[in-house]
Structure 1
């Protein structure tokens, strides 16, 4: 059984400013958790602090100069009437780790939209390997070769030994890996049709591949 290990999560806060994933704030000069912001302007002369301030604490930063801390779901503070005010940000949780290992170089939702890194094993009790969703929106594996006995499924996944590649064709094609429903007998639609799911019919099943189509989508 394959168990992806998700090592990151986000807490969704009450919505005052809606966002999804990485947040870009339109501002003249902004501090971050790793550096200083700009200074000057009406209403204050200070810089954004290096660390998130405490709401209600005194401040001396221009009111039109928001200070953000964090990359993906940031804390945003503004200085109003001499005190720090925090703007709560509601962010969509990142996508979970794929159930099957993504291929090295396959597209991902970026480190703000995808739980990353993700850890997998080629076989139960075997050595683990890690796949990370990078800033280039691509998966990067510390084991770029396929696991022994695995097969490529579409251009996104590798299906491990004991799994088959399921292609679902509707208005486009999607791919997923599923446990072989026919083993140890040869793969056939008679025993593999159920893995196509509701609204799909098994058109072809052989080797380690199952092709499903949506009759109503034609």
Structure 2
């Protein structure tokens, strides 16, 4: 049986680590475990419309640093820097879409047209991607954030600290990553996550709204 208290303890222990102990490194085994939690995370129709980059190149991190105001201490002290980049055009007309349905999900041939139609209808009627291309990007980013949440929770369960980073100048970061051939024209930077071991304990206890204020039961 999984101990529920241990899970809640991990949630309480986790915080957005602002500075890591640069002398402590995540083992390859633990890193592989964390990357597997990303891979196994749910996404809309299982399309996983994102790619994940573990950036260890110090020269690239130095270039990124002035443009990542939300990670000034974390960038050089974290053990690993993980970046989620979303795919810009995951529709039924895209090669990636066909790759996922056929090569990854092994969709039976008699089901292919049904799945294409189902996803196409969802994207055009519910997401309304024909009205604004940003709707498709927003949808892809939501899928990446599901994986990000699972990554941070899994890290906390094995007492690895994390800090999600949205505070960066997107245009500058994108230009640097494209110049280094990390991003191509069909990838868009979504969010970073720094991983490692805290240098200091949190300055104060975790604060959250009460369950009564947060949750509403509709009977």
TM-score by length of 2: 0.22
Bigger relative contact order (CA 8 A; separation at least 6): 2
**Structure with a larger share of its residues in strand:** 1
**Greater radius of gyration (CA):** 1
